[in-house]
Amino acid sequence: MAQDRKPVRWHVGVFLAPAVIVYTAIMIVPLFATLDLSLYEVRDKVAAFVGLGNFAKLFGDPNWSGQFWNALWNNTWFFVVNMAVQNPIGIGLAALLSSNRLRFAAAYRTAIFVPTILSFVIVGFVWKLILSPLWGIAPDLLKSVGLRHWFAPWLGDPHTALTTIALISVWQFIGIPMMLIYAALLSIPEEVIEAAEMDGITGMSQFWRIKLPLILPSIGIISILTFVGNFNAFDLIYVAQGALAGPDFSTDILGTFLYRTFFGFQLQLGDPNMGATIATVMFAIILVGVCVYLFGIQRRLRRYQF
Amino acid sequence: MKTTFSLALAGMLLSTTAALADTTITIESWRNDDLTVWQQKIIPAFEKEHPDIKVKFVPSAPTEYNAALNSKLDAGTAGDLITCRPFDASLALFKKGQLADLSDMKIMSNFSDVAKAAWQTDDAKHTFCVPMASVIHGFIYNKDAFKDVGIDAAPKTVDEFYADLDKIKKDGSYTPLDMGTHDQWEAATMGYENIGPTYWDGEKGRKAVIAGTEKLTDPQFVEPFKQLVKWTDYMGDGYKAQTYPDSQNLFTLGRAAIYPAGSWEISVFEKQADFKMGAFPPPVQKAGDQCYISDQPDHALGLNAASKHKDAAMTFLKWVGSQEFAQIYGNALPGFFPLTKEKVTIKDPLANEFLSWRQSCKPTMRYTYQILSRGTPNLENALWAASANVMNKTETPEQAAEELQKGLASWYEPQQK
Amino acid sequence: MSKRARTSHGRALAAHAILLIYTVIALFPVFVIVINSMKSRREIFRHPLSLPGPGSFDLVGFQTVLQQGNFPLYFWNSLVVTVVSLAFILLFGAMAAFALSEYRFRGNTLMGLYLALGIMIPIRLGTVAILKLMVAAGLTNTLFALILVYTAQGIPLAVFILSEFMKTVSDDLKNAGRIDGLSEYRIFFTLVLPLVRPAMATVAVFSMIPIWNDLWFPLILAPAESVKTVTLGAQMFLGQFVTNWNAVLASLTLAIVPVLVLYLVFSRQLIRGITSGAVK
């Protein structure tokens, strides 16, 4: 890592410039111009500076804070389900796929990744169709194994809707952890595995004792990607449950709350100022999470160079 | 330098001459269901009379419309003509100066004050969209199914309504009442605000809430919720996860008997159903009572204040206000009823059944639309959630009404007394 | 020895069983869409799980959809936007990731954080500002506007993942290159890039998905017929025929197939990338 101290290292700038320029101009400037709106309020067509007034409203006015805390809590549960179901299964599948001399590994891997490439429109539509109490794909399937009484209108019940949606999200995105972990497992050199086998460490214990420590940085990446993705999620709930995130706002997460506020919905007019306020809070939540990862976890992870 | 300049100049000249010969105006709309009707019937009729103006109808999906339109208006890339939603959404665009003032258009005299009210400022001094169509609420039923189970005539009173539903339920071959609560809005729009006016006496109740003299917790506003609870006994298994398209398909496949409807369903249903359909207005409480219908202004057409083709766009708007347009539109899209005062003959029999109620019943509109949905929490959205909750039995009618009243009173002064 | 062979046999069998079950779970919904898109309306609702047969086979949905839009053109537009954006994302992203992971300079971590900000705020919020920018640059209704937005949107994730992988490339190798007198650019392009090909392929697949499936920016920045993308074209039908499930299922199938093909193409590269990276 250590570099010779040279006066000016132009190449560092050259390497960074294209990404930084495009990214700053098209993304950062527009986004921060929007977040800036959170400090203003429109009164009689004129934007008036209100400082942190909008934040006070978001947390102090029960009409806003009720919705906010509901969305934050739902979002947390959404994240917990994704983290607890998607990532372990993804890692497990990757481990199976990368095991030696497994036939058809490529076919399995391709198939399992297919849901990830589908658009939200398709995912929302097809799961509503499968879970529909009327057309009965799920009820019929359960009936064929004698469990028809297990079926319930899951997406319509405030107690089960959010978890159902979270599991659909797991189904859709499992390819991402699987793929990343798979790439990481494959880049473990043969010599390391062979040395382990010499010592009689094989199978499960080889995975736990040798491979897992080596792929910890990748597990870090998938965790933080899941966190950021879940706290930014919006589309799936929007297409499956609508902008009001029903039933009774039980599937409302920060993304849907933000979208409804910022752009408006039906008779509710868009309120870019309050929308930007919510976005700023979301941004802060995610930023804290990412900083915890970058400064707290990532630095402590041991990396092995091969 | 010089060549680029003259090239640019030549380019400009070319584009202006092209503009003179052929102006293209675009219409922004959320009515993507109607794309083919516009392309095949409406636009050709206009272009025949005005060969120098080309019209493009560019709809986006209803869920994206408001967000996409507002972004494009803010950045100046929106189309010349804007399809207006009723009341506050369009009023906000007018106040921002994005919709032009159309009060001086002569054609406006073709419309009654009631028709124009949805696209005017509160003091009725400025009108900013040319009214196009309204929709009427009621119930569509499967005539063959009624015959099968031995019902001779559509129900007129609430008691008859439930008696018929009982009969259909006992027979067992049809879902008696075809509605779901998953998408929420049907519960509010085709449920609560469909039958509600019968209980709160239509316009009288609507205006009283705006004036603050009646409250949403009053019995006449709670009773419709109680009716919705009764409905659930007749709805399909798993109605909580039944979506709007599910309901539509269930009905047009001939598996349901009564569909709480808006008249916009007519053209869709007639294309897909292979049985006879009839319609009846919201049943009254006792025989002989006055009946009420929700006759809701639905869409209008306004002029983008930043349009570069104002003359052509105005020509089109004038045509939209004419009797000729109303005749074409009302028949191309049965179920969207023209708002013009001039005589329009609708050929579709089912649409005419809806239209005939205007004679016998007193019209009103959804009470959440005018003025009452301006604050936070938004009353219309709250009503969607409340109606669905009541039907899902996660809230009692009284609790739902209580919550709506509390939300409204939190920002609407006349209700704070 | 024979006992060991038997257990490894059993283990392989178990692995196949688990993977097979999961494959079914992953593919079943897609299967449902595709078989039903080729059936008559009544059959879709009566027997949603049966294969299209002589009595139920019906392509009316595809006829409706293909009559309405210029799908080959939409497909071409999507392809151009996706491939060009991907090329930019991979090139710019890898360069920046290399700078961050290779050189120690002041503000390195901050720069890393700065480049990661983009995945923390939904880019949709910047819509109006972005649209104004494109209007000022005269880029509305061009594919280039979309390419710019998607490149900017894809860079954070690319940098994030690639810099993690670049840290695992051995210093000895790079230093050997430096001793041989290779410039930093040569080291990046000829030594480091080939070694992170698995990660590049992964980033390519991850970045491709949101670009191909995006509905919002095509709707706002390039809604004109000549630059319409497949997803926007398919969405039109979804709204338009919300009750005509033949057409809905057909347009969904049409939207799935191209991206599936594209993925299979990349996936080939992916395997090649991953294996060559692993063999070394």
C245 chain-B contacts, CB cut-off 8 A: 245, 249
Domain count, chain A: 2
CB B313 within 8 A of CB B320: no
Mention every residue, 6+ apart, whose C-beta is less than 8 A from residue A295.
Answer: C109
Return the pLDDT at C107.
Answer: 86
Peptide bond into B377 cis (omega under 30): yes
The verdict on A133 and A73 lying in the same domain is: yes
What is residue C250's three-state secondary structure?
helix
CB contact under 8 A, A265 and B368: no
**Do residues C207 and C152 lie in contact, with contact meaning Cβ atoms separated by under 8 Å?**
no
For residue B63, the distance in angstroms to the closest alpha carbon of chain A comes to 8
Asked, for residue B357, whether it belongs to a domain, the answer is: no
Query: Please, which residues have CB within 8 angstroms of residue C114's CB and are 6 or more apart in sequence?
Result: A28
What's the pLDDT at B8?
Answer: 46
Chain B: residue nearest A243 by CA? B63
Kindly report which listed range (A30-34, B295-299, C238-242) carries the lowest average pLDDT score.
Answer: C238-242
Structural domain contains residue B355? no
Taking residues A190-206, what's their average pLDDT? Answer: 85
Asked if residue A67 and residue A181 are part of one domain, the reply reads yes
Long-range CB pairs of A279-282 (<8 Å, 24+ gap) are A279/A34, A279/A35, A279/A38, A279/C121, A279/C122, A279/C125, A280/A35, A280/A38, A280/A55, A281/A55, A281/A58, A281/A68, A282/A231, A282/A232, A282/A254, A282/A255, A282/A258, A282/C121
Name the residue with tokens 């496949």: B253
Cα dihedral B229/B233/B235/B236 (nearest 10): 140
Contact between C115 and A136 using a beta-carbon 8 Å cutoff: no
Instruction: Compute how many other C-beta atoms are within 10 angstroms of the C-beta atom of residue B375.
Output: 16
Residues B314 and B383 in one domain: no
Do A22 and A68 belong to one domain?
A: no
Nearest in space to A173 (alpha carbons), one of A183, A165, A185, A162: A165
Maximal CA-CA distance, chain B: 87
Q: Which pLDDT value is given to residue B6?
A: 46
Q: Does one domain contain both A115 and A69?
A: yes
A150-168 tens-digit pLDDT: 898 999 999 999 999 999 9
Question: Can you tell me the distance from the alpha carbon of B35 to that of B332, in angstroms, rounded to the nearest whole number?
Answer: 11
Q: In Å, how far is A46's CA from the nearest CA of chain B?
A: 10
Cross-chain Cβ contact C206/A179 below 8 Å: yes
pTM: 0.90
The answer on A75 and A46 residing in a single domain is no
- Kindly state whether A287 is in contact with chain C, defined as any CB-CB distance less than 8 angstroms: yes
**Could you tell me the residue range of the domain that residue A14 belongs to?**
1-51
Does residue B102 sit in helix, strand or coil? coil
Q: Which residues of chain C are within 8 Å of residue A93 when distances are taken between CB atoms?
A: 18-19, 22
Q: Is residue B195 part of a domain?
A: yes
Same domain for A121 and A4? Answer: no
Give the model's pLDDT for residue B19: 44
Residue B157 domain flag: yes
Domain final residue pick, A11, A29, A51? A51
- Both B330 and B373 in a single domain? no
Selected residue of A112, A117, A223 to mutate for chain C interface (largest C Cβ count, 10 A): A117
**Is residue B225 domain-shared with residue B84, that is, in the same domain?**
no
Are residue B191 and residue B290 in the same domain, yes or no? yes
Contacts of C149 in chain A (CB under 8 A): 26
pLDDT at A106 over 50: yes
pLDDT of residue C276: 54
Residue B158 lies in a domain: yes
> pLDDT grade, residue A105 (50/70/90)?
confident
**Interface contact A135, partner C, CB < 8 A:** yes
Helix axes A212-232, A272-291, angle to 10 degrees: 170
Token duo for residue B24: 């293209």
Check if the beta carbon of residue B368 is closer than 8 Å to that of residue B350: no
State whether A80 and A198 are in the same domain: yes
Shared-domain flag, residues A118 and A26: no
Q: Does a structural domain hold residue A18? A: yes
Contact: C121, A9; criterion CB under 8 Å: no
Q: Tell me, yes or no, whether A121 and A192 share the same domain.
A: yes
Q: Do C122 and A33 touch (CB under 8 A)?
A: no
Residue A85 · residue A77 · CB < 8 Å? no
DSSP letter (8 states) at residue C131: H
**Burial class of residue B305, CB neighbours in 10 A (0-12, 13-18, 19+):** middle
Contact A268 B92 (CB under 8 A): no
Do B246 and B163 belong to one domain?
yes
b/e code A231-257 from CB counts within 10 Å (16+ = b): bbbbbbbbbbbbbbbbbbbbbbbbbbb
Tell me the CATH number at A156.
Answer: 1.10.3720.10
What domain count does chain B have?
2
Tell me, yes or no, whether B90 and B172 share the same domain. Answer: no
pLDDT of residue B4: 45
| Residue indicated by tokens 């991206």 | C259
pLDDT digits (tens, 9 = 90+) for C151-197: 999 999 999 889 888 888 888 889 999 999 999 999 999 999 888 88
Interface contact B238-A134, CB threshold 8 A:
yes
Instruction: Look at B61 and C131 and tell me if their CB atoms are within 8 Å.
Output: no
Query: Which one of C45, C221, C242 makes the best mutation probe of the B interface by having the most chain B beta carbons within 10 Å?
Result: C242
* Judgement on whether residues B97 and B164 belong to the same structural domain of the protein: no
Q: How far is A240 from chain B (nearest CA, A)?
A: 9
Burial class (CB in 10 A: 0-12, 13-18, 19+), C74: buried
Q: Is B106 found in the same domain as B238?
A: no
- Residue B359 is assigned to a structural domain of this protein: no
Q: Which of A26, A51, A76 is the last residue of a domain?
A: A51
Residues B198, B254 within the same domain: yes
How far apart (Å, rounded) are the C-alpha atoms in residues B409 and B216? 10
CATH of residue B312: 3.40.190.10
Claim to verify: residue A23 and residue A138 sit in the same structural domain? no
Q: Which residues of chain B have a Cβ shorter than 8 Å from any chain C Cβ?
A: 32-33, 35-36, 58-64, 68, 71-72, 74-77, 244-245, 248-249, 252-253, 268, 272
Quick check: is B376 in a domain? yes
Nearest 5 degrees, angle CA B253-CA B259-CA B264?
Answer: 90
A171–C contact, CB cutoff 8 A? yes
Nearest to C243 among B35, B36, B248 (CB): B248
Whose CA is closest to C130, among A238, A28, B228? A28
Put simply, whether A301 touches C (Cβ < 8 Å) is no
Query: pLDDT-derived band of residue C125, with 50, 70 and 90 as boundaries?
Result: confident
Angle between helices C143-166 and C127-136 (to 10 degrees): 120
CA distance B254 to chain C (A): 10
Tokens of C255: 């939207």
Select from A63, A267, A273, A278 the residue whose CB has the most chain B CBs within 10 Å, as the one to mutate to test that interface: A267
H-assigned helices in B201-297 = 203-211, 219-231, 244-252, 265-272
Residue B257's contacts (CB-CB under 8 Å, 6 or more residues apart) are: B141, B142, B145, B146, B149, B168, B174, B175, B176, B177, B178
- Percent of chain A past pLDDT 70, that is, above it, reads 97
pLDDT digits (tens), chain B, 417 positions: 344 444 444 444 444 444 445 899 999 999 877 888 899 999 999 999 999 999 999 888 887 888 889 889 988 889 999 999 999 889 999 999 999 999 999 999 999 888 899 999 999 999 999 999 999 999 999 999 999 999 999 999 999 999 999 999 999 999 999 999 999 999 999 999 999 999 999 999 999 999 999 999 999 999 999 999 999 999 998 999 999 989 999 999 999 999 999 999 998 899 889 999 999 999 999 999 999 999 999 999 999 999 999 999 999 999 999 999 999 999 999 999 999 999 899 999 999 999 999 999 999 999 999 999 998 899 999 999 999 999 999 999 999 999 999 999 999 999 997
DSSP secondary structure letters along B296-327: EEEEEEEEBTT-S-HHHHHHHHHHHTSHHHHH
Share of chain A above pLDDT 90, in %: 50
Residue A291 has pLDDT above 70, yes or no: yes
The DSSP bridge pattern shows strands B175-177 and B256-262 to be parallel
A21 Cβ neighbours under 8 A, 6+ residues apart? none
- Asked if B294 contacts B194 with a C-beta cutoff of 8 angstroms, the reply is yes
Residues of A in contact with C33 (CB under 8 A): 122, 125-126
Same domain, A160 and A246: yes
Question: What are the phi and psi torsion angles at B294 (to 5°)?
Answer: -90, 110
Residue spans of alpha helices (H) in chain C: 2-37, 41-46, 60-68, 71-102, 108-116, 127-136, 143-166, 171-179, 184-186, 193-195, 197-213, 216-221, 230-240, 245-279
Put simply, the chain A residues between 12 and 71 with a CB less than 8 A from any chain C CB are: 12, 14-16, 18-20, 22-23, 25-31, 33-35
* Residues linked to residue B25 through DSSP beta bridges, in sequence order: B55
Which among A242, A156, A168 is positioned nearest to B64, based on CA atoms? A242
The verdict on a CB contact (< 8 Å) between A19 and C115 is yes
Rounded CA separation B340/B130 (Å): 10
Q: Are B86 and B144 in a shared domain?
A: no
Whether B126 and B226 share a structural domain: no
Q: Is the pLDDT score of C238 beyond 80?
A: no
Find out whether C46 and B253 touch, Cβ atoms under 8 Å: no
Q: What is the pLDDT of residues A240-256, one digit of tens each?
A: 998 899 899 999 999 99
ipTM: 0.86
| Average pLDDT of the residues of chain C | 84
Which chain C residues are Cβ-neighbours of A189 within 8 angstroms? 280
Subunits in contact with chain C (3 or more CB pairs closer than 8 Å): A, B
CB atoms within 10 A of CB C171: 12
Whether residue A304 is contained in a domain is answered as no
Rounded CA-CA distance B332/A54 in Å is 48
Residue pairs between chains A and C whose CB atoms are closer than 8 Å: 269
Task: Say yes or no: B176 and B212 in one domain.
Answer: yes
For residue B340, is it within any domain?
yes
CB neighbour list of residue B360: distance below 8 Å, 6 or more residues apart: B281, B291
Burial of B311 (0-12, 13-18, 19+ CB in 10 A): exposed
Residues A142 and A247 grouped into a single domain = yes
Q: What is the pLDDT of residues C102-124, one digit of tens each?
A: 998 888 888 988 998 888 878 88
Residues of the domain holding B406: 136-295+365-416
In one-letter notation, the amino acid at residue B231 is W
Question: Across all residues in chain A, what is the average pLDDT?
Answer: 89
Is A305 inside any structural domain? no
- Cβ neighbors of B299 (< 8 A, separation 6 or more) are B31, B83, B84, B85, B86, B132, B133, B336
Within a domain: A267: yes
